[in-house]
Amino acid sequence: MNGDETNSSGPTRRSIIHGAGAIVGGGLLAGCTGQTSSDANAETKSSTQTATATETETHETTASSGDSYTVSIEPVGAVEFESVPETWVANNGSWADMGIALGLEPPKGVWLTSRYHTQYYDAIPGLSVDKSDMVSLYQDGVSKELFYELDADVHVMDPNFLMNRFKGWKQADVDEIVSEVGPVFGNCIYAQHYPWHEDYRYYTLYEGFEKLAQVFQRTDRYEAFVSLHEEFKATLQSVVPAEGDRPSAAVLWGVGDEPEEYYPYIIGGGTGFKHLRDLGVKDALANTDVKDFHGTRAAIDLETLLEVDPEVLLLRGYESKSREEFESTVVEFLRNHDTASALTAVENGDVYRAGSLYQGPITNLVLTQRTAESLYGTDEQLYDAQRVADIVSGEF
């Protein structure tokens, strides 16, 4: 990136200015347990509405070459950029996919590369992402030295995730990376369950996408995706059955290829459930005694699942498998298991992969299409895949 200046006493200090908004720590992380109110309803509003500038959130998106500009996001605040970032790391596949949608080079690292499922791009003509050189930020902990080695222009992640998802990082560590490597800019948006996130806002997928587009000065691609997304949601109205005609589905994380234990997920806010919300999926667990995994970290067994007996099983943890591989391992095991074989979903062949927790604008389209085909039997193509490819390449 142009304009870097070498710090003779150590690592590179970025020409990106870490502006007015200090990264929030301390009291922000305190607070009683519980989940914030969901942003899910906001996703149903028109995504064509751009974020209104407020006292705490202002941005400039028309910077010409050489001009600085500022973008804000909670909990970081305002970050001033002297030039457009060229290299970056992302917290997870939600933000990574947003970058791909903007036509960027893939991030140099994500939290876990195994959970960034680039095979989804096979559904988009001419689009592929090579993650062979991509680094997992989490390697039995997260090393500050790795951040120095990656030397990214911007780190697209929630600083509170770094300090709370595992033991090791303090506010001083985050401040050091911001000062000596590059700014941290992001919000944990894939789910809405962390107690340390209850004191500041969540962003919907497209709200977060807009913020990233402002950082990389590619709001034209963002706006093109907004138009595509609005058309896509209008199409869904003809696909989703009336509420009384939708099957009840349990979303579970299966433990291994022969799962006898499952981590239950209640469909809620966050980008990880967007495809299920948009399809109006009826949650078989919502009105039972089964508690959400996020709050309990507890698994349920097959006997408990049989008591609920959902019409459909949507299983997470198997996105690295093709449909055929999933059928020949997990589903085959369930068919042959004494208890699992008695489940209505298994008897009727309604066991499907649930989709990734980490969704951006492209992967959300792909997963919504796949889930609509599985749940509702639609054979209609719900979005224009070639148009997605054109937007990514800037031909729109």
pLDDT for position 36? 33
pLDDT at 30 over 80: no
pLDDT at 21 over 60: no
Rg from Cα positions in the chain: 21
Structure confidence by residue, pLDDT tens digits, 280-308? 999 999 999 999 887 788 999 999 999 99
pLDDT at 10 over 60: no
What are the b/e assignments for 76-106, b being 16+ CB within 10 Å? bbbbbbbbbbeebbbbbbbbbbbbbbbebeb
pLDDT for position 44? 35
Which residues neighbour 37 within 8 Å (Cβ) at sequence distance 6 or greater? none
CA distance 87 to 105: 8
Helix, strand, coil shares of the chain as percentages rounded to 5?
40, 10, 50
Of the listed ranges 19-23, 78-82, 90-94, 247-251, the one predicted with least confidence? 19-23
Of 60 and 138, the structure prediction assigns the larger pLDDT to 138
CA distance 84 to 1: 9
pLDDT for position 27? 26
Query: Tell me, which fold does domain 26-234 have in CATH?
Result: Rossmann fold (3.40.50)
pLDDT at 52 over 50: no
Mean pLDDT of 344-352: 98
If 0-12 CB within 10 Å is exposed, 13-18 middle and 19+ buried, where does residue 15 land? middle
Same fold yes or no, 26-234 and 243-379: yes
Structure confidence by residue, pLDDT tens digits, 224-261? 999 999 999 999 999 999 999 999 999 999 999 999 99
Nearest of 185, 233, 254, 190 to residue 372 by alpha carbon: 233
pLDDT at 163 over 50: yes
pLDDT at 34 over 60: no
CB 285 within 8 A of CB 312: no
Annotate 129-194 with DSSP letters as a single string: ---TT-EES-SSS--HHHHHHHT-SEEES-HHHHHHSSSS--HHHHHHHHHHT--B-----S-S--
pLDDT at 12 over 90: no
Q: Where are the domains of the chain?
A: 26-234, 243-379
Structure confidence by residue, pLDDT tens digits, 58-77? 333 444 456 999 999 999 99
Q: Which tokens belong to 102?
A: 């903007």
pLDDT for position 79? 98
Average pLDDT for the chain: 86
pLDDT category of residue 165 using cuts at 50, 70 and 90: confident
If 0-12 CB within 10 Å is exposed, 13-18 middle and 19+ buried, where does residue 349 land? exposed
Of the listed ranges 166-170, 175-179, 219-223, the one predicted with least confidence? 166-170
Distances in Å between the alpha carbon of 259 and those of 146, 293, 353?
A: 35, 16, 13
Q: Right CATH number for 243-379 from 3.10.290.10, 3.30.470.20, 2.30.40.10, 3.40.50.1980?
A: 3.40.50.1980
pLDDT at 332 over 90: yes
CB 68 within 8 A of CB 17: yes
Share of the chain above pLDDT 70, in %: 83
CB 137 within 8 A of CB 114: no
CB atoms within 10 A of CB 256: 11
Q: At which residue do the structure tokens 């291994």 appear?
A: 256
pLDDT for position 168? 82
